[in-house]
Amino acid sequence: MNIFCHEHTDRPLYHSGTFNGYETVMQAGFAALSKFDEKAVTAINLLGDRFQAGLLKSFADNGLGIQSNQIGSLINLHFVNQKTTTAAHVQESVEELHALMHLSLLTKGVFNIPRGLFILSTIMTEPEIDVLVDKIDASLKELLPLIEEKYNHLLL
């Protein structure tokens, strides 16, 4: 558990929980989950599949070996050139590129969690996923000169 503790490592693994245990938020979450049926789960996971496929195509088209991990509608982009299967792999992701990607996406009207996490919503549609992929692709193109100069280990 020390990997999550800022006092025990120079690069702790991020773990969020702004409202963990807050009763009002827990009640709202319970109410929302009661509406989240099997049909909604299937639909949002299909959007996650579409998003992941778009990201992988963008990475390849830009000559990048970077990674994205997907679990249903949760997708995390990693600036590493290896499969990310352990916490140590995630910690090797280039923090500077995460920060720049986040800022670039903000200028395009996209808010994601700065460490590269994207959480899809049941209200999203396929065209919105395609626009999201296009904006990420545009941000990667902006970052490409820096990657080529400073982080060429991320190139294919």
Instruction: Answer yes or no: is 2 within a domain.
Output: no
Q: What is the pLDDT of residues 36-58, one digit of tens each?
A: 899 999 999 999 999 999 999 99
Instruction: Look at the block and give the residue holding tokens 């994205």.
Output: 68
Structure tokens at 115: 């460490």
Using 50, 70 and 90 to split pLDDT, how confident is the model at 15? low
Instruction: Answer yes or no: is 69 within a domain.
Output: yes
Q: Burial level of 108, CB count in 10 A (0-12/13-18/19+)?
A: middle
pTM of the model as a whole: 0.84
Q: How many CB atoms lie within 10 A of CB 102?
A: 17
The total domain count for the chain is 1
Question: Residue 78 sits in which domain range?
Answer: 37-154
**What CATH number does residue 87 fall under?**
3.90.1150.10
Q: Burial level of 43, CB count in 10 A (0-12/13-18/19+)?
A: middle
Instruction: Answer yes or no: is 87 within a domain.
Output: yes
